[in-house]
Amino acid sequence: MKNLNIYNLLTMVLSLFFFNCQIKKNTNYNYAGYSGIRQIESDLKKALKDKKTAIYNYPNLGTSFFLKKGKINGVFEIIINNDTIYYCNFKNNKPCGYYVFKTIHPKNINYYNRILPLKPNIDFGFGSGFFNSQHEKDGFWRENNQPCEQEGIYIKGKKEGIWKENCFNDIGGYTIYKNVTYKNDTIVSSTEK
């Protein structure tokens, strides 16, 4: 019995070793700026389509992600000038845990947003918060849905309770502050401050 346990342990260790050796690692130092963003977009689309298993790393762009059989698994992040612009952990293309996606500058939003594919969707809006184990927004979230900034609570993917909203009015050049009450993701009441 003892020999069988050692054999099973040895088999498991060797399997993990060979599995890790089979994962292709793609590190690309050649790209920076716009051409680098385009390269990530191209690599990601092709890898998703071809159902690749690989680690992609772009040190000059602060971007890395892992695909397993064409599905994003693990952390997908974008770091620019030592600032985390995008961060999300994935399990089979679905978000779980902490999420952050920051606006950089209004003129550059689409520039960096281009690498975020629509299928699977990994863009859950500008803001930060947590996804639960069912991949739903849950708990306290801050969201920046131009021209409004909002903060409040999600329960199982639905807005609940009082949300604070600050909406900039381009025409008048001022900000409207509101408290909006949600029940089951539906607005129940709204009051300006």
Pair of tokens at residue 6: 């050692």
The mean pLDDT value for 124-131 works out to 93
State the pLDDT at residue 122. 82
Does pLDDT of 34 surpass 50?
Answer: yes
Q: What is the pLDDT of residues 137-182, one digit of tens each?
A: 999 999 988 788 999 999 999 999 999 999 887 776 678 899 999 9
- The answer to whether the pTM exceeds 0.85 is no
- Decide if 150 contacts 163 (C-beta within 8 A): yes
Beta bridge partners of 137: 131
Q: What is the mean pLDDT of the chain?
A: 79
Q: How far apart are the first and last CA of the chain?
A: 73
Q: What is the DSSP annotation of 65-127?
A: EEEETTEE-EEEEEEETTEEEEEEEEETTEEEEEEEE----TTTHHHHHTTS-TTTT----SE
Pair of tokens at residue 169: 């009015």
Q: What is the pLDDT of residues 73-109, one digit of tens each?
A: 888 888 877 788 889 999 988 999 999 998 765 454 4
